[in-house]
Amino acid sequence: MSGSDTQTQAFAAMKLKPLPSSATAAYCQARSKLDLLGLETILEHTANRLLNIFNPDRMNSRRVVVVDGTGVSMPDTMANQLVWPQQRHQKAGCGFPQAAICACFCLQTGALLSHKVGNKKSHELPMLREQWDTFKPGDIFLGDKGFCSYFDLSSFKDRSVDSVITLARRIPVTEVEAVEVLGNDDLLIHWKKPARSKASSYSQADWEALPETLLLRQIKVSVNQSGFRTHGFYIITTLLDAKVYTADALADLYFQRWDVELFFRDIKTTIGMDILRCKTPDMVRKEIVMHLIAYNCIRYLMIEAAQQANEQVRRISFKGSVQALRQWEPHLNQTKISHREQRRLIQLLYESIADYIVPERSGRSEPRAVKRRPKPYQLLTAPRHEMKVALHRGKYHAKAA
């Protein structure tokens, strides 16, 4: 029985009313009737609202769209395994179905603009190409080295979308080979079209339509901050004007790419999308979209609270905003409440959200480590019905039946 069911029964008991059933069958039946297309329309609406209510300080008045991928797991059912199979090296019945998600976020607001769901065989680049309509002329695409692709750089350029990505799978161009030296470690270069890979997701005709060379800009970024694994990397961009887009500004923009990892952490850890609960692919897709809708709605509250407090939205704590919303929800969710009182409570909610300010911690480095030790249970190394209980819980190597 969930906490909300317990609260409902306690309230009914206090009012001397018949106790409602604690069964969740009716809730599950109603949830299964939700239309996935309708939920995706709602998600698109929330993204548009976030862009309309807030005009952030963009890079020369341009929206920056940051793209990255992540993974989620779900219950180990036959239906889920058929769509999102587990890793090949895991034994049947010992792993969980894994879904891959590639999402586009607005860097300035944190709004989730679009997403695609795939399986372990889905690469981020093909999933990004399914979201090209998310980008508008004048946008700046920001991505890591997984998106370093000649085809995509050229395709974005044809859509009047500039790119800022990390160099991968190519040797950096030297000053001798450069078209022009724009500054220290800042070169204007030509990229030649490579041979088409047989594993490419685009057609031969699309490949032949690409230009033979691309005029790009290569910037070497040196990292002198202690604790960082990388001491230097190269940025490739189609922003060729070194006066309008300085090398330092582009390096700082790429460092902000880390925010997408925080966006995914907010969705997966804070909201709880890391491990899904639905047992069928149809319901899993709905569950993912519902998490993303909730994420955008919380972002909406954070942006309005930041506006009223004259604070940057990236300084507002997402987890603190969720906690504030949970505290104020019982007061706002009253049937007999006037509009004036509701506006007053919402204003207090905004003030409470704005109190959760994340301090500036530039150059902060903390290892990803778990302090709490796991319990000494044996590992599931065979299907559960074949497992034999170890004689002592300290013996990790279980024997198959």
Q: Would you state the structure tokens that stand for residue 328, as one six-digit string?
A: 């104020």
Tell me, yes or no, whether 63 lies in a domain: yes
Asked which of 202-216, 231-245, 254-268, 364-378 is least confident by mean pLDDT, the reply is 364-378
In a domain? residue 42: yes
The mean per-residue pLDDT over the stretch 263-292 comes to 95
Q: Are 98 and 87 in contact (CB under 8 A)?
A: yes
192: domain CATH number is 3.90.350.10
- Burial status of residue 4 (CB atoms within 10 A of its CB: 0-12, 13-18, 19 or more): exposed
Q: Is the dihedral of CA 115, 117, 120, 126 positive or negative?
A: negative
Q: What is the pLDDT of residues 201-228, one digit of tens each?
A: 778 888 888 899 999 999 999 877 666 6
Q: Please name the amino acid found at residue 338.
A: S
Please give the pLDDT value at position 399.
Answer: 47
Which pLDDT score, from 0 to 100, does residue 400 have? Answer: 45
Percent of the chain with pLDDT over 70: 88
CA 179/CA 183 separation, integer angstroms = 12
User: Is-contact 81 116, C-beta < 8 A?
Assistant: no
pLDDT digits (tens, 9 = 90+) for 355-376: 888 887 776 666 778 888 888 7
pLDDT tens digits, 168-181: 888 898 888 899 99
Residue 307 in domain: no
Indicate whether 230 pLDDT > 90. no
CA–CA distance, 345 with 340 (Å, rounded to integer): 9
Q: What is the pLDDT of residue 9?
A: 61
**Predicted local distance difference test score (pLDDT) of residue 227:** 60
Q: How far is CA 234 from CA 48, 174, 187, 332, 364, in A?
A: 34, 12, 11, 50, 22
Helix, coil or strand: residue 120: coil
Task: Look at residue 260 and tell me if it is in a domain.
Answer: yes
Give the integer Cα–Cα distance in Å for 360 and 362.
6
Enclosing domain of residue 51: 32-270
Q: pLDDT at residue 56 above 90?
A: no
In angstroms, rounded to a whole number, what is the distance separating the alpha carbons of residues 10 and 20? 10
Q: What is the pLDDT of residues 302-354, one digit of tens each?
A: 999 988 888 888 889 999 999 999 988 888 887 788 888 888 988 999 999 99
pLDDT at 357: 86
Q: Give the contacts of 130 (CB within 8 A, at least 6 positions apart).
A: 116
Return the biggest CA–CA distance within the chain. 86
98 vs 6 pLDDT, higher one = 98
Q: What is the pLDDT of residue 388?
A: 67
Q: Does 193 map to a domain? A: yes
Asked whether 111 and 299 are in contact (CB, 8 A), the reply is yes
Q: What's the one-letter identity of residue 384?
A: R
| Residue 94 one-letter amino acid | C
Ramachandran assignment for 331, one of left (phi > 0), alpha (psi -120 to 50 degrees), beta (any other): alpha
Q: Is the pLDDT of residue 108 over 60?
A: yes
Task: Indicate the range of 55-64, 96-105, 152-161, 354-363 predicted with least confidence.
Answer: 55-64
3-state secondary structure of 234: strand
User: Is 309 part of any domain?
Assistant: no
Q: Of residues 392 and 12, which shows the higher confidence score?
A: 12
Write out the H or E segment, with its range, that includes residue 192.
strand 186-192
What are 158's two structure tokens? 């044809």
Mean pLDDT of 241-260: 92
Residue recorded with tokens 């972002």 = 299
Give residue 398's pLDDT band: very low, low, confident or very high (50, 70, 90). very low
**Residue located via tokens 């090209």:** 132
For 270-282, what is the mean pLDDT? 94
- In-domain check, residue 362: no
**Helical spans, DSSP H, in 256-356:** 259-265, 281-309, 318-332, 339-354
> Is residue 39, in this structure, part of any structural domain at all?
yes
The pLDDT mean for the chain works out to 86
Question: What total number of domains does the chain contain?
Answer: 1
